[in-house]
Amino acid sequence: MGIQWTGLVGDVGGTNARLALVDPQGHIRHPRSFSSRDYPSLAAVIAEYLQATMGRKRPPRAVIAVAGPVVDGEIEFTNLDWRVSEGDLISEFGFEAVRLINDFAAQAVACPLFDGADLRALGPNLGRGAHDCPIVALGAGTGFGVAALARSPRGDVPISAEGGHAAFAPTDEVEVAVWARLRERYGRVSIERLLSGQGLYDLYVCLAEQAGKAPELADEMAVTKEGLVGDPLAAATLDRFGAILGSVAGDLALTYGARGGVYVSGGIAPRIAERLAAGPFRARFEAKGRLSDYVQTIPTFLVAHPYPAIVGGARLLEQMGRL
């Protein structure tokens, strides 16, 4: 007799769809990544994955983390021509239950489980924070994601948000000039206009203009690569990016009262981990005027686990099984 899988978990965005199965012990098995744009729908991805791993069998439940807001059990992807609903997935695959959840909300659920090699302190070692206070998970990649986790003796509750679309607040003359340049291009300047892959490159271009130089690098990947090996302008861009990330993280810590800790993930931060840890991130996190003493007690971490939303999905799957 084969394994009786507890359920299917997934982390789905505009670029990749990652799926895995969860065994009765809560272990994540058979992870696989798909290129989202190669498929007409999420159902097509799931069908291929389940056929390859289970044949005609189906797990009883599914938790799918998605990059965007879930409204009434449904999401319409911004960067894909996909509309997904919990009801449609139940009908298509015969699941007993399905939960769609924002990807950073799923990451927030996972954060209390991480330890050791899966976490790196950004700043002083302050322990894991107050165990009964909220946690914030945030990160920059294709966009900027934010969510919180409210904690209580009755259980943890994820709080989805679209904080990446809140307004960017510059803190010095350099950032005021960046904000003005981006306002000319985009109109309203949100946090995501800077803290994202495109934002990193736009920041590089703006800093080049301020320095009276032509931007020589082609995209954000080149800025990251050259910044880490010593290109002065690219290195300054990475440091400014880390500073803005720290400032935003501190604002979110204040907003949520996140004395349980702030966890940074996403596609960009792990690639610049050393520079982020050595740069201005923590100083800007703590620079909160009259509330600086408050945020100085809040630990900040870099999440090093490659699939935090999958881990969070597995935890939610276990909670569904108890209901």
Domain ranges of the chain: 7-108+308-322, 115-303
pLDDT in tens, 52-61: 999 989 999 9
Q: Which pLDDT score, from 0 to 100, does residue 323 have? A: 58
Structure token pair of residue 249: 């993280």
> Are residues 138 and 263 in contact, defined by beta-carbon separation less than 8 angstroms?
yes
Residues 193-251 pLDDT 10s: 999 999 999 999 999 999 999 999 999 999 999 999 989 999 999 999 999 999 999 99
* 13 assigned ligand-binding residue: yes
Residue 53 in marked binding region: no
- Contact yes or no for 314/65 (Cβ under 8 A): no
pLDDT band at 303 (very low <50, low <70, confident <90, very high): very high
Q: What's the token pair of residue 318? A: 């276990």
Class of the 115-303 domain?
Answer: alpha beta
Quickly count: other Cβ atoms within 10 Å of residue 175's Cβ. Answer: 19
What tokens does 272 get?
A: 């610049």
Residue 81 confidence (pLDDT)? 86
What's the pTM value of the predicted model, to 2 decimals? 0.94
pLDDT bucket at 1, cuts 50 / 70 / 90: very low
Percent of the chain with pLDDT over 90: 89
The answer to whether the 7-108+308-322 and 115-303 domains have the same CATH topology is no
What SS3 class is residue 266?
coil
pLDDT at residue 71 tops 90:
yes
Q: Which residues pair with 190 in a beta bridge?
A: 167
Residue spans of beta strands (DSSP E) within 128-237? 135-140, 144-150, 157-160
Mean of pLDDT over the chain: 94
pLDDT digits (tens, 9 = 90+) for 90-103: 999 999 999 999 99
Distance in angstroms (rounded) separating the CA atoms of residues 107 and 12: 13
* Alpha-carbon 207 to chain mean position: 26
CA distance 85 to 95: 13
Note the pLDDT tens digit of each residue in 114-152.
999 999 999 999 999 999 999 999 999 989 999 999 998
pLDDT score of 300 more than 80: yes
Tokens of 184: 């000319």
Q: Which helix (H) or strand (E) holds 243?
A: helix 232-256
Q: Find out if CATH 3.30.420.40 is the number for domain 7-108+308-322.
A: yes
Helix (H, G, I), strand (E, B) or coil at 8: strand
Cα distances (Å, whole numbers) of residue 317 to 27, 101, 110, 293, 313? 11, 12, 12, 38, 6
Q: Which residues pair with 148 in a beta bridge?
A: 136, 159
Residues in CB range of 126: below 8 A, 6 or more apart: 297, 298, 299
- Determine whether the annotation assigns residue 171 to a binding site: no
**Gyration radius (Cα) of the chain, Å:** 20
pLDDT tens for each residue of 162-206:
999 999 999 999 999 999 999 999 999 999 999 999 999 999 999
Q: Is 11 annotated as a binding residue?
A: yes
Amino acid in the structure at residue 5? W
pLDDT in tens, 8-45: 999 998 889 999 999 999 899 999 999 999 999 999 99
State the amino acid at position 28 in one-letter form. I
Is 303 flagged in the annotation as binding?
Answer: no
Coil vs helix vs strand at 42: helix
Q: How confident is the model at residue 2 (pLDDT cuts 50, 70, 90)?
A: low
